[in-house]
Homo-oligomer: A and B are copies of this chain.
Amino acid sequence: MKPSQRKIEIITTAAQLFKEKGYSAVTMRDIAKAMHIKAASLYNHINSKQELLSHIIISLAEDFTTGMKEVKTAEISSIEKLKKLVALHVSISSNNTYEMASLNNDWMHLEAELDYYLKLRKDYEENLRKIIKTGIQNNEIIDVNPEVVLFSMLSTLRSLYIWIPKKEDLDIQQFTQDLSNVLLKGITK
């Protein structure tokens, strides 16, 4: 059952406002005003404010899960897998800059789907951890605490949505390449 066009408009508008102020600080009246209708009218298309958050976060989390599934089963080196994941994050983030803010900052306000989200996130992290550990075992990656590598990569990838929209004339392919280099090869000459 896919959302109607109007419902999609509401979700997109909500995501923009959620990014600016966070889920809790945005009111149904705010969302309605941004759409030039009254708050009560929103309920002809949606059931609750919570439903908006849930749709935004879960569909994105599933996109990441799908992308990870492809990467982890690919027959490529660990470093190549990490490069693919950088590209995955740049791609999803650049196409969902508003929604990424909710995924990162408002997941704790999920209700019915909180456990499902937490499972997706845990599985994603666990898969990334495995790739890093395998890379260390294979001598592709330096022998450092894998948790530090995991933390450093994920922090940067999860923050992409903050930086990508600032550079409107950004060449996505060039950016992906530069970011891969910085993350994997470091910055020291």
Contact = CB atoms under 8 A, between A and B. Distances in A.
Interface stretch (A29-37, A49-57, A63-71, A148-156): A148-156
A148 B108 contact: no
Given A139-B189, A140-B188, A142-B188, A182 B149 contact: yes
Contact of A186 (B24, B175, B183): B183
A49 to B, nearest CB: 13
A22 interface: yes
Interface string A146-189: 01110110011011001100010000000100110111111111
Instruction: Tell me the interface secondary structure of chain A in the complex.
Output: helix
B148 A179 contact: yes
Interface residues of A, number: 41
Contacts of A187: 141-142, 144, 149, 183-184, 186
Interface of A: 20-25, 79, 105-106, 108-109, 139-142, 144-145, 147-149, 151-152, 155-156, 158-159, 162-163, 167, 175, 178-179, 181-189
